C-alpha cells in the first residue's frame, strides 16, 4: 500500500469521529441519474456517472479508496465511510459510500461536489433598470424531428438526434438549479413550427430557447451562434433562416395559414416588447458557451426564424455547431462534449436570470 493512501485512510478514520454538515440538494433540483434506495435514502451508481460526465476516477480494491477528478474538483472517498476529502476541506455525506452487486453507490449529494450545478456560476448583477422580470420557467425546443431530419453530417450524424439529446441535457442542468424546465418534444416526432412557441405561450413560460445544429456548403466553417428574431437581416442570416424555416413546406396548410394570420394581427406589439430581452439573452448564452467551451463565437445575430415568431416571451435560437464540418460533427457525436455544451448553455441562462432578478431587486430597494 502506498504511503499517501495509508495517510489518507488514517485521516478518514479520524474525521469519521467528527461531526459534519451534509450538503442536501434543494427540493426543486432534479437528479439526472437513476437512483436506488440504500440506507433509507436515494443513492446512484458512481462510475457510470463518471463516464457520462467526464470525471476521471481510480479505485484501489485493497485500500477501498476512490479518487475522483474533474476540472478543479478533487474528491477522495472510502468505501463504508460517509466522510470525503475535497479541495474545500473535509465534508460529510448523509450516508456512507457502499458497494452492492459489485457496483459502487454514493448518496446523490456527492455529485454536487464533483459536478456543481451551473447555477453556482458567478452571478452578474447590475444597477441597470432594463429588466423587471423574474425568470422561473423555460421551454426548450429541440429543432426538427420525425420526417424532418435537419442537417446531416458526412458521418451520418443527424441534426434532429443531436439537438434532442442536447435539449434534454440542458433541461437537466436547469432543473438542478431549481428552474421549471420543459421541452416541446421528448421523442423523434415532427412538430409544426408554429406549434413550438405556442407550447411556450400555453405554459406561460418566461423564456423560449430553440436548439439546432447548423450546416453550410463551405465545410470549413465551424463555430457557435445565437440568434434573436428580426426582419432586417443580411444575406447569410436570410439563407440560414430559409433552411431552418423549410419545415413550413411540409406542414399542414391550415396550420400555416393560422401562423401567418397571427403575424398579421398582434406580432408587432409582442416583437417590440421582448426584442431587447431576447438580444440580451442571446449575448449571455453566447458569452457563457465561448468562455466554457473555448469555441469560436461566430456572433449574436438577428434572423427571421419562423420558430421564434409568435413567442410571447424572450426567445432565441441556438446553433450549437456546424454538423457539415468534419471536426464539428465529431464533437457533436461525443456525449461528453454535448454535456459540456449543455452546461454552458444552461450557465448562460442562469447568468441572464441573475442579471434580470438582480436588477429587479436593486430597483425595489431604491
Statement: residue 107 has pLDDT above 50: yes
Q: Name the band, by pLDDT with cuts 50, 70 and 90, for residue 356.
A: confident
Average pLDDT over residues 113-131: 59
- At 163, which helix (H) or strand (E)? helix 159-176
What tens digit of pLDDT does each residue of 169-228 get? 999 999 999 999 999 999 999 999 889 999 999 999 999 999 999 988 888 888 899 999
- At 345, which helix (H) or strand (E)? helix 335-365
What tens digit of pLDDT does each residue of 302-337 get? 888 888 888 989 999 999 999 999 999 999 999 999
Per-residue pLDDT at 89: 78
Q: Name the band, by pLDDT with cuts 50, 70 and 90, for residue 347.
A: very high
Helix axes 46-53 and 335-365, enclosed angle (nearest 10): 80
Are the beta carbons of 241 and 304 closer than 8 angstroms? yes
What tens digit of pLDDT does each residue of 252-285 get? 544 444 444 434 434 444 555 688 899 999 999 9
Under CATH, which number does the domain 118-365 receive? 3.40.630.40
What tens digit of pLDDT does each residue of 89-98 get? 788 899 999 9
What tens digit of pLDDT does each residue of 23-73 get? 433 333 467 889 999 999 999 999 999 988 889 999 888 888 899 998 888
Q: Domain 3-114: which topology? A: Copper Amine Oxidase; Chain A, domain 1 (3.30.457)
Domain spans of the chain, in order of start: 3-114, 118-365
- Please give the Cα distance from 114 to 109 (Å, whole number): 10
Amino acid at each position: 500500500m502506498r504511503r499517501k493512501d495509508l495517510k489518507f485512510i488514517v485521516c478518514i478514520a479520524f474525521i469519521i469521529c467528527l461531526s459534519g454538515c451534509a450538503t442536501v440538494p434543494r427540493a426543486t433540483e432534479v437528479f439526472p441519474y437513476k437512483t436506488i434506495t440504500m440506507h433509507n435514502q436515494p443513492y446512484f451508481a458512481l462510475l457510470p456517472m463518471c463516464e457520462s460526465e467526464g470525471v476521471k476516477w481510480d479505485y484501489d480494491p485493497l485500500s477501498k479508496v476512490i479518487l475522483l477528478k474533474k476540472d478543479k474538483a478533487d474528491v477522495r472517498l472510502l468505501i463504508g465511510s460517509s466522510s470525503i476529502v475535497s479541495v474545500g476541506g473535509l465534508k460529510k455525506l448523509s450516508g456512507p459510500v457502499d458497494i452492492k452487486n459489485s457496483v459502487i453507490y454514493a448518496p446523490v449529494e456527492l455529485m454536487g461536489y464533483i459536478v456543481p450545478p451551473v447555477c453556482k456560476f458567478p452571478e452578474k448583477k447590475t444597477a441597470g433598470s432594463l429588466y423587471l422580470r423574474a425568470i422561473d420557467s423555460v421551454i426548450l425546443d429541440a429543432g426538427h424531428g420525425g420526417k424532418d431530419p435537419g442537417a446531416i453530417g458526412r458521418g451520418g450524424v443527424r441534426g434532429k438526434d443531436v439537438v434532442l439529446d442536447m435539449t434534454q441535457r440542458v433541461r437537466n442542468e436547469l432543473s438542478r438549479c431549481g428552474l421549471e424546465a420543459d421541452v416541446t418534444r421528448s421523442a423523434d416526432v415532427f412538430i409544426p413550427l408554429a406549434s413550438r412557441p405556442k407550447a411556450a405561450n400555453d405554459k406561460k413560460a418566461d423564456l423560449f430557447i430553440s436548439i439546432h445544429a447548423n450546416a453550410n456548403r463551405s465545410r470549413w466553417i465551424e463555430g457557435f451562434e445565437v440568434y434573436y428574431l428580426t426582419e432586417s437581416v443580411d444575406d447569410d442570416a436570410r439563407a440560414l433562416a430559409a433552411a431552418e424555416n423549410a419545415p413550413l413546406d411540409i406542414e399542414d396548410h391550415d396550420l400555416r395559414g393560422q401562423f401567418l394570420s397571427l403575424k398579421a394581427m398582434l406580432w408587432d406589439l409582442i416583437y417590440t416588447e421582448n426584442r431587447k430581452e431576447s438580444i440580451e439573452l442571446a449575448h449571455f448564452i453566447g458569452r457563457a458557451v465561448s468562455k466554457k467551451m473555448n469555441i469560436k463565437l461566430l456572433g449574436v445575430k438577428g434572423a427571421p426564424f419562423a420558430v421564434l415568431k409568435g413567442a410571447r416571451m424572450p426567445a432565441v435560437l441556438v446553433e450549437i455547431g456546424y454538423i457539415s464540418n468534419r471536426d464539428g460533427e465529431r464533437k457533436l457525436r461525443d456525449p461528453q462534449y454535448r454535456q459540456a455544451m449543455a452546461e454552458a448553455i444552461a450557465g448562460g441562462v442562469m447568468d441572464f436570470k441573475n442579471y434580470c432578478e438582480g436588477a429587479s431587486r436593486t430597483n425595489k430597494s431604491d
